[in-house]
Structure 1
Amino acid sequence: MGNSFLSKAKITAIGTYAPERVLSNFDLEEMVDTSDEWIFSRTGIRERRIAAEGEFTTDLCVAAVQDLMKRYDKTVDDVDLILVATSTPDYAFPSVASQVQARLGIEDAGALDMNAACAGFVYALQMANSAITSGMNKKVLVIGAETLSKITDFNDRTTCILFGDGAGAMLVEYIEERGSFLSVHMTAKGEGGIHLYRTGLSNQMNGQELQNSGYIVQNGREVYKWAVTTVPCGMEKVMEKSGSVLEAVDWFVPHSANLRMIESICERSGFPLEKTLWSLEHFGNTSAASIPLALNKGIVEGKVKAGDRVLLYGFGGGLVQAGILLEWMV
């Protein structure tokens, strides 16, 4: 792809939302055999947000878009495609995207949910860029949202300490000049799906019986090993396709799975941790929402500025990965 990569899509706004209820490490001490020191030293997480009993992924999506509209004085009534990245839809069908369309009163838009787990938001951004650059769409709403607390076993101390709920949204619009997207990369290793899953209609994978609990099941050690060995290679591929080098990146925004994992990825790739953004300390692992939450935090804190080169990199269940090099233009 190199320098010939063409984008006619520009990110014009960002918004986020997290539920009001806070579940701290100290709260978890009362629920399972763990401690604040143990959790923080191994994950970097101090607290996470938990959706209310009657609050679902669609609600979080709508709130994130409302935040986007308010902050950037944007309207979404003329959006012509809605993409929602989530592993926790309100229903098997209808899609969350179609419910967002109805709730926001968007009259003439396609609506599609995407399931790429923790890489979902980056995958959805790639699809938005493709749809706009191809001329198929002009204005796309991209949302990453999860209510992982509803599929987390709070008796399992290995997973309940990790996951939280949240949402992030971006508006992607057509631009006559060169767009925000400089290069992309995506890949999958489906044989590793056995290490991170939630059962559905089938209770077998690769000939093995699955734990049919309806909750998230994760082999953290295997997922960690896969991520820290393959993500640095993926980062390099994104940069190669842009005709640039990792040293030219101003901010790295990986999926906020675990701070120790992020530290290892930075160490192996040679990218400075001080130029890396994450959202896990106060939100936990929010899967498809973690990258927009982290990027938004960097914007609010005055770190990310117009003209900066930002590398987004998602990775997770599938096992899937997706990276985008952006020029932040907002």
Structure 2
Amino acid sequence: MLQSIITGSGSYLPNKIVPNSSFEQITFFDENREPLVKSTSEIIQKFADITEITERRYIEDDSVMNSDLAAEAGKLAIENAGIDKEELDYIIVAHNFGNIDSDERQVRITPSISALTKQKLGIKNTQCKPYDMVFGCPGWNEGVILADQFIKAGIAKKILVIGSETLSRSVDPFDRNCMIFSDGAAGVVLEGREKSDEPIGILNHYTRSDNGEEVFYLTTDKSLNPEYVGSKANIRMRGRKIYEYALKYVPQAIKKVIDDAGYTITDINKVLLHQANAKMDHAMLQRLFRLYGLPISSIPEGIAPMTIQKFGNSSVATIPTMYDMMAKGNFLNQTFKSKDLVIFASVGAGMNINAILYRMP
């Protein structure tokens, strides 16, 4: 059986930096569609205290679409892997909203993002299948899991997996939660290699989907501002519910993927968590260590890198962006070493949770 190895990565971050101060002139509304009583300055400060976000990246050119970001990240990953793009068996692109135009903010998912990405990459191979993964924020992880299954089943040998999103075009500008989201894209090339004496690459994975009442924790809805004439399908979150769900089940998922592979938390070198809310990520990591009977003080410094402070939440792009930066030495004081055991874990709309255990070559 083959093992799935990441042989190349690439990421694209828009150049437009949007600091928290950019929201100072906005009047935020509550769930009853009434203006919030607190001043915008107070709201922004509380937001920063909880999420630790101070700025985020937005796509800077109105003519650029989500598929353009995906293609750029894919191109960089292919170049980094040193492969012929025509050798790809699949292109899996994770996203949530497809292409969204900057004027009407209309969601467009036909043609599919993966097909457009293949076209923009100039791939002529008709046996290279484009595949969209719509799975909430864990979409890139799930794309990697699917690619691993294809490779180990002998269906494919080389697969490009991308996470790409332009969330700045899918938020309600009058909802304070709009400050969480950002734009970006990143991806990896996964290749099948013969198993070595010491397994490397993807060692284990686990996915959990709760689709009862949880399915409504993160949806889309009209603006909180009755006068807003923009998009009628804006991101809407039940923040407290998501926080409680993530804190309860994400640590369990990570523990399961570690335990089932025959390891323990002290064997893990890095935990790459989806970057949605710094407070939530800190709490999930602490809960994970407590599940192993270990005190918070035992958490190694730097085990869980964070990009949210400067990049915000780019959904499916957050984990592959971190991976790419660390793999290329572009992350301050954060890198990978050979044989490192790394966790990729995410939670998002659905509600879906997944975790991957990966050993660096």
> Shared fold by TM > 0.5?
yes
Tell me how far apart the structure 2 counterparts of residues 145 and 170 of structure 1 sit (CA, whole Å): 12
The alpha carbon displacement at 1:59 in A equals: 0.7
Tell me how far apart the structure 1 counterparts of residues 248 and 354 of structure 2 sit (CA, whole Å): 15
Matched, 1:265 2:284: yes
Indicate the RMSD between aligned Cα atoms, in angstroms. 1.8
Tell me how far apart the structure 2 counterparts of residues 306 and 80 of structure 1 sit (CA, whole Å): 27
> Paired residue for 2:211?
190
Write out aligned runs for 1:1-330 (5 A). Answer: 8-32=3-27, 33-34=40-41, 37-51=45-59, 52-90=61-99, 91-108=108-125, 109-157=128-176, 159-177=177-195, 178-191=199-212, 192-198=214-220, 213-270=232-289, 271-272=299-300, 274-299=302-327, 300=329, 301=331, 302-329=334-361
Q: 1:296 to 1:194 in 2, by over 3 A?
A: same
One-letter identity of the residue aligned with 2:63: G
- More displaced stretch, 20-29 vs 36-45: 36-45
Deviations 1:56-100 (A, max 9, x none): 110111111222244454432211100001002122221111011
Tell me how far apart the structure 2 counterparts of residues 38 and 297 of structure 1 sit (CA, whole Å): 29
- More displaced stretch, 32-41 vs 84-93: 32-41
One-letter identity of the residue aligned with 1:174: G
Q: Which runs of 5+ in 2 are unaligned?
A: 28-39, 100-107, 223-230, 290-298
Contact 2:71-2:118 at 8 Å conserved across structures:
no
Tell me how far apart the structure 1 counterparts of residues 135 and 41 of structure 2 sit (CA, whole Å): 30
> Paired residue for 2:30?
none
- More displaced stretch, 25-34 vs 147-156: 25-34
Give the ranges of 4+ consecutive aligned residues of structure 1 lying more than 6 Å apart after TM superposition: none
Q: 1:70 to 1:275 in 2, by over 3 A?
A: same
Contact 1:128-1:140 at 8 Å conserved across structures:
yes
Percentage identity across paired residues of the two chains: 27
The alpha carbon displacement at 1:125 in A equals: 0.3
Deviations 1:86-128 (A, max 9, x none): 0021222211110111111222200110111110011000000
Q: 1:127 to 1:106 in 2, by over 3 A?
A: same
- More displaced stretch, 75-84 vs 300-309: 300-309
Larger radius of gyration: 2
Q: 1:41 to 1:273 in 2, by over 3 A?
A: farther
The alpha carbon displacement at 1:55 in A equals: 1.6
Q: Which runs of 5+ in 1 are unaligned?
A: 1-5, 201-211
Tell me how far apart the structure 1 counterparts of residues 337 and 17 of structure 2 sit (CA, whole Å): 30
Deviations 1:221-279 (A, max 9, x none): 11001101111111111012211111111000011000000010011111546210222
